[in-house]
Structure 1
Amino acid sequence: MRILVVAESFLPHMNGVTNSVLRVVDHFAATGDELAIIAPQWPRAETSVRTACGRVVPVHRVPSAPLPGYSAVRIAATSAAALRRRIEEFRPDVVHLASPTILGGRAVVAAQKAGVPTVAVFQTDIPGYTARYGMPFLESASWRALRDVHNRATLTLAPSTRTRDELIEHDIERVDLWRRGVDTSLFSPSLHDPELRARYADPDEKLVVYMGRLAPEKQVADLEVIHDMPGVRLLIVGDGPDREALRRRMPRARFAGFRSGTDLAAHLASADLFIHPGELETFGQTIQEAMASGLPVIAPRRGGPVDLIAPSRTGWLYTPGMLDELREQAGDLLFDDSKRRAFGRAALESVHKRTWPVLAEQLRAYYLSAMERHRTPLGAH
């Protein structure tokens, strides 16, 4: 197949959208498909990416500017006409729209005009972010914009059942379910490192880890209820604009900064429990990575985590905003070693069939479905 990926966010900025695109591109490059990527321009951004199998995939950069006050987000400044020219040059069988908003919105119009089917992968809860960042008046406008983009697409893929239901409730059509894969060859309990653990926690302390961006929408400050628990040490892995404020708020916590690769995996495998307090997760990739590392997980009962965590088996789900409930659930696992280990084993087992090759081949089936829908005249279904 010839697959053109239009990524709203991409390298050098690493986030959930970028990671998913890289894993998908790695898989399809290895299976012999032809690929190209369109992504926003960044300072010193590369114009190609080398995949895990050694193939080089071109990255066509389009002009962009940083979002005022949040430079990690780039706003593309290209036209649908320019994107159509790119599409017609590459002649794709399908256009993959990764978390489409502005760039993806123009690309779906361009693909329509070029007669190419599109698969839009919903990944970022922008309406939820507007409320979290103190702009609830933009929530309905955000849904209108997303509805316009996704209803132009041949097919929309949601990462969780809760997100799929929410999209349908907001009148987004042709929605299917496509979860994310986890790299079980990287994230593994075998990377448990006693020396690394000893850098962060005393021998008689339990180590609770959070991994992710340190930004308001992740609600990392909610972990203050864990930070104050006797016999518990909180480890925060990641970076972002809230880092210094969180340091001041939780002085006993250990801050490991941004980590990647085997180093990141070892930080997870060396902890006892993973907690993700953010309520805006459409999926929860770091939850899967913690589970693959053999950790039980606690997260709010909202969005993606509801699909990933089996309460009383692989972790706990707490009522959003009920931090006393979170603290009680953490104590339940931290101070019962046999229960925590049993939950951890069940968590590991639960992700073994969610590898990226399996999920990428499911995505291929959705590409083929979009191509078939595109060939079938309207009203003939």
Structure 2
Amino acid sequence: MKLVLVTETYPPEVNGVAMTLERLVNNLILQGHQVELVRPKQKIDDTGPAPDYPVHMVPGVPIPGYADLQFGWFSGGKLKKLWTENRPDVIHVATEGMLGLSALNIARKLGIPVVTSFHTNFHTYGDHYNYSFVANWLMAYFRWFHNRTLATFVPSQATVDDLEKYGFKNVKIFSRGVDTELFGKHRRSDELRQSWGAQNGDPVVVYVGRVAAEKNIPLTIAAYERLKKRLPKAKLVVVGDGPERAGLEKKHPEIIFAGMRRGEELAQHYASGDFFLFGSTTETFGNVLTEAMASEMIVLGYDYAAAHHHVVDGENGFKAPFKDEQAFLGSVDRLLDQEARFPEIRQNARAKAQSLSWGSIIKGYADEVAALAQLKENA
């Protein structure tokens, strides 16, 4: 199968969507498929090695508040020329912006099968960014966009159910895996822990993700403070960057802000921690939680997305009823009451992560996409 991925976010950018799409591309190539990438050029592109598959850059415009990142601009002319001369079997549009809309329109005009994926619950961000009033309009656009394709791939059954309530059709699951060779306790670093001021067995809580309003970091901090009442030597390390970082650093000088990390360095930060407290309520999946499980951390999250599917409360981690902050904070006490079982819980978390192979998940995705494309060609 020859597949073109169209996306506005991709490494060297660091976020869950970019990392997932890179896994998709790399595993499709390993499985013998031809893959090409279309995306806007970013200012940070010169910081990493060039990929060994074709990448077609399109013009971009700066994202307000994120000067180093670019939205893809309308690029219909370039895409029409590209796909007329070198026609793919299927096009996967991963983002719904101007670039994604151009790709969808041109693919339909050329009769090329198109699938999409839904990665970010933008409609749930409104309360954090003061645009709740446009949530219905936003979902109407997303519904119109995705329903013009053969299928929309999402990471969980909960997201399927959510989108179907909004009138999305042909929603299918493309789950998420975890790289247990990259993420694991073998990455633990005493030197890194010492740089955080953690001596010997001092407990370390780690948060990984965007430092942004939609991640509900104040709840993670409150959970850490609750844990610290019983474990006074505990430290909190925030791994990531974003618009809330400066304010949080000023308000909480006791917290260690490690900034953006990727690859082995990111894996080392996970493995050098002990607890992963994740208060976000806006995830479509939450790759960070399964990466923490692979790293044998004691995890706590809300009972939805990745935690709903992969955390068995009290066996390989802990979870609280969705959006119940008091229950979330109370679960910190439940967690600490199980200290004698921490070695068992950590091993169970690792075992669950080891069952989530990216290779098998992406093979299932590829088989489904190929079948959908063939049905369209035969129609």
Report the alpha carbon displacement of residue 343 of structure 1 after superposing the two structures with TM.
1.8
Give 1:256's aligned residue: 258
| 2:37 counterpart of 1:37 | yes
Structure 1 segments of 4+ aligned residues over 4 angstroms from their partners: 46-51
Q: 1:46 to 1:267 in 2, by over 3 A?
A: closer
| 2:165 counterpart of 1:166 | no
* Contact 1:48 1:58 (8 Å CA) reproduced: no
Report the alpha carbon displacement of residue 47 of structure 1 after superposing the two structures with TM.
12
Give the whole-Å Cα distance in 2 for the aligned partners of 1:87 and 1:297: 45
Q: 1:209 aligns with which of 188, 206, 210?
A: 206
Q: 1:132 aligns with which of 113, 128, 132?
A: 128
Give the whole-Å Cα distance in 1 for the aligned partners of 2:356 and 2:39: 27
Instruction: Select between 207-216 and 254-263 the one with higher mean Cα deviation.
Output: 254-263
Give the whole-Å Cα distance in 1 for the aligned partners of 2:205 and 2:293: 14
* Contact 1:187 1:289 (8 Å CA) reproduced: yes
* Contact 1:48 1:57 (8 Å CA) reproduced: no
Report the 3-state secondary structure (helix = DSSP H, G, I; strand = E; otherwise coil) of the residue aligned with 1:120: strand
Give the whole-Å Cα distance in 2 for the aligned partners of 1:175 and 1:208: 36
Instruction: Select between 118-127 and 4-13 the one with higher mean Cα deviation.
Output: 4-13
Report the alpha carbon displacement of residue 202 of structure 1 after superposing the two structures with TM.
3.7
Report the alpha carbon displacement of residue 321 of structure 1 after superposing the two structures with TM.
4.1
Matches within 5 A, 1:229-308: 229-230=228-229, 231=231, 232-308=234-310
Calculate the TM-score normalised by the size of structure 1.
0.91
* Contact 1:120 1:157 (8 Å CA) reproduced: yes
* Contact 2:72 2:97 (8 Å CA) reproduced: no
* Contact 1:281 1:305 (8 Å CA) reproduced: no
Report the alpha carbon displacement of residue 280 of structure 1 after superposing the two structures with TM.
0.6
* Contact 1:301 1:319 (8 Å CA) reproduced: yes
* Contact 2:43 2:69 (8 Å CA) reproduced: no
Give 2:111's aligned residue: 115
Give 1:347's aligned residue: 349
Give 2:4's aligned residue: 4
Unaligned runs of 5+ residues in structure 1 are: none
Q: 1:112 to 1:265 in 2, by over 3 A?
A: same
Give 2:20's aligned residue: 20
Give the whole-Å Cα distance in 2 for the aligned partners of 1:335 and 1:38: 50
Give the whole-Å Cα distance in 1 for the aligned partners of 2:96 and 2:368: 17
Give the whole-Å Cα distance in 2 for the aligned partners of 1:348 and 1:276: 18
Q: 2:179 aligns with which of 169, 180, 183?
A: 183
Report the alpha carbon displacement of residue 203 of structure 1 after superposing the two structures with TM.
3.7
Question: How many residues were matched structurally?
Answer: 373
Give the whole-Å Cα distance in 2 for the aligned partners of 1:253 and 1:45: 31
Give 1:75's aligned residue: 71
Instruction: Select between 105-114 and 201-210 the one with higher mean Cα deviation.
Output: 201-210
Report the alpha carbon displacement of residue 376 of structure 1 after superposing the two structures with TM.
4.2
Instruction: Select between 172-181 and 19-28 the one with higher mean Cα deviation.
Output: 19-28
Give the whole-Å Cα distance in 2 for the aligned partners of 1:333 and 1:245: 29
| 2:158 counterpart of 1:156 | no
Give the whole-Å Cα distance in 1 for the aligned partners of 2:300 and 2:160: 22
Q: Cα RMSD over matched residues? A: 2.2
Report the 3-state secondary structure (helix = DSSP H, G, I; strand = E; otherwise coil) of the residue aligned with 1:311: coil
Report the 3-state secondary structure (helix = DSSP H, G, I; strand = E; otherwise coil) of the residue aligned with 1:275: strand
Give the whole-Å Cα distance in 2 for the aligned partners of 1:47 and 1:366: 35
Q: 1:224 aligns with which of 221, 224, 228?
A: 221
Task: Return the letter of the residue paired with 2:243.
Answer: P
Give the whole-Å Cα distance in 2 for the aligned partners of 1:180 and 1:217: 21
Q: 1:335 to 1:198 in 2, by over 3 A?
A: farther
* Contact 1:208 1:275 (8 Å CA) reproduced: yes
Q: Percent identity?
A: 29
Q: 1:369 to 1:130 in 2, by over 3 A?
A: farther
Instruction: Select between 213-222 and 28-37 the one with higher mean Cα deviation.
Output: 28-37
Give the whole-Å Cα distance in 1 for the aligned partners of 2:366 and 2:47: 25
* Contact 1:222 1:277 (8 Å CA) reproduced: yes
* Contact 1:296 1:344 (8 Å CA) reproduced: yes
Give the whole-Å Cα distance in 2 for the aligned partners of 1:250 and 1:47: 31
Q: 1:2 to 1:106 in 2, by over 3 A?
A: same
Instruction: Select between 283-292 and 355-364 the one with higher mean Cα deviation.
Output: 355-364
Report the alpha carbon displacement of residue 79 of structure 1 after superposing the two structures with TM.
3.9
Instruction: Select between 218-227 and 313-322 the one with higher mean Cα deviation.
Output: 313-322
Task: Return the letter of the residue paired with 1:3.
Answer: L
Instruction: Select between 259-268 and 36-45 the one with higher mean Cα deviation.
Output: 36-45
Give the whole-Å Cα distance in 1 for the aligned partners of 2:298 and 2:378: 46
Q: 1:226 to 1:174 in 2, by over 3 A?
A: same
